[in-house]
Amino acid sequence: MAEAVSQPNAREMLVPPPSVAPVLGVGCGGSGLETITNYKALCIARNGSLDPAVRLLGFDVMAEPPFVNNNSGRAIRLTPGIEYLQLGRDCNPPALRRAIKTSSIDCRLREVLLRQPGGRLTRSLHNGSEGERLFGLLGLEWSRPDVRRMISAALTELSDLRLTAGRETGRDAPLLVIVAAGTAGGVGSSIALPIVADIKREADRLGIDPASCTFIGVAVLPEAFAPTIMRSSNAFDTISDYDHSQKAGVLPW
């Protein structure tokens, strides 16, 4: 009689076994953040902790990252200040306007910012998928130095692990970068591509050839959300950005 073999469920199959290959997982916006947090929760439930060669980062406009319950009922979230950064914190239009004037940011953002009366910009940053995608970019631009510092710190740690693994295999260990974001028009839809550009820029600065890295995008489609006119319009713009970036081989700023 054949021995019965238990099969892992679909959620467990998403979690890879411990590996020396360094992995950077990044969640952009609410949907991306939830995806990466679920990844962390599943890893902890299955292996007891994150693999030492895994670093996770999350970026959104919410003050605190969300909690996710893993299979054991434990509440898991990204660590604020280390794994999670709030974009646009304490943002105010006049200060952001001055910052934009001295940066290489797209002139369209300056035009949008100038049209915002009073403190509307700060409130708009918290509108999620009902807000314009450009507000997500404005929140990113306000917090760009902190975003780049967090990416640099994570890549520096992974670079050390990569070299260690390389000595074991006789070559540099590959670096896997996973970027998760929604496409329905929220914060993640507007910042995912610029975040990828920052990762490549910091990798190159640290001596990691971006071409040697494997990038995987996890996109949460508009069908995951209730349909609205704003979401449909923003989702179209998001997919258009992705399509142009892939065909032209370019990333924003």
- pLDDT surpasses 50 at 7: no
- Please indicate, yes or no, if residue 130 is contained in any of the structural domains: no
Tell me the CA distances in angstroms from 201 to 148, 204, 231, one per residue in order: 9, 5, 31
Q: HEC string of 223-247?
A: HHCCCCHHHHHHHHHHHHHHHHHHH
- Please indicate, yes or no, if residue 140 is contained in any of the structural domains: no
What span, in angstroms and rounded, lies between the C-alpha atoms of 100 and 39? Answer: 35
- pLDDT surpasses 70 at 160: yes
pLDDT in tens, 46-55: 888 888 889 9
What span, in angstroms and rounded, lies between the C-alpha atoms of 108 and 250? Answer: 18
- pLDDT surpasses 60 at 128: no
Contact 186, 137 (CB under 8 A): no
Report the pLDDT value the prediction gives residue 27, as an integer from 0 to 100.
97
Closest-CA residue to 133 (of 247, 242, 249)? 242
What span, in angstroms and rounded, lies between the C-alpha atoms of 227 and 80? Answer: 31
- Please indicate, yes or no, if residue 84 is contained in any of the structural domains: yes
Q: Taking the CA of residue 12 as centre, how many other CA atoms within 13 Å lie in the half-sphere pointing to its CB?
A: 9
pLDDT in tens, 212-250: 899 999 988 877 777 777 777 778 888 888 888 888 887
Domain of residue 149, residue span: 19-67+74-90+145-221+229-248
- Please indicate, yes or no, if residue 213 is contained in any of the structural domains: yes
Report the pLDDT value the prediction gives residue 2, as an integer from 0 to 100.
38
- Please indicate, yes or no, if residue 105 is contained in any of the structural domains: no
- Please indicate, yes or no, if residue 124 is contained in any of the structural domains: no
Provide the number of structural domains found in the chain.
1
Report the pLDDT value the prediction gives residue 173, as an integer from 0 to 100.
65
- pLDDT surpasses 50 at 163: yes
- Please indicate, yes or no, if residue 119 is contained in any of the structural domains: no
Question: What are the tokens at 179?
Answer: 């970027």
CATH label of the domain that carries residue 160: 3.40.50
Phi and psi, residue 77, nearest 5°: -150, 165
Question: What are the tokens at 134?
Answer: 């450009």
- Please indicate, yes or no, if residue 10 is contained in any of the structural domains: no
Report the pLDDT value the prediction gives residue 167, as an integer from 0 to 100.
46
Contact 195, 243 (CB under 8 A): no
- pLDDT surpasses 70 at 201: yes
Taking all residues of the chain, what is their mean pLDDT, rounded to a whole number? 78
What span, in angstroms and rounded, lies between the C-alpha atoms of 148 and 103? Answer: 15
In the block, residue with structure tokens 């934009």 = 100
If you average pLDDT over residues 152-173, what whole number do you get? 69
Higher per-residue pLDDT: 245 or 166 = 245
What is this structure's pTM? Answer: 0.80
Report the pLDDT value the prediction gives residue 200, as an integer from 0 to 100.
94
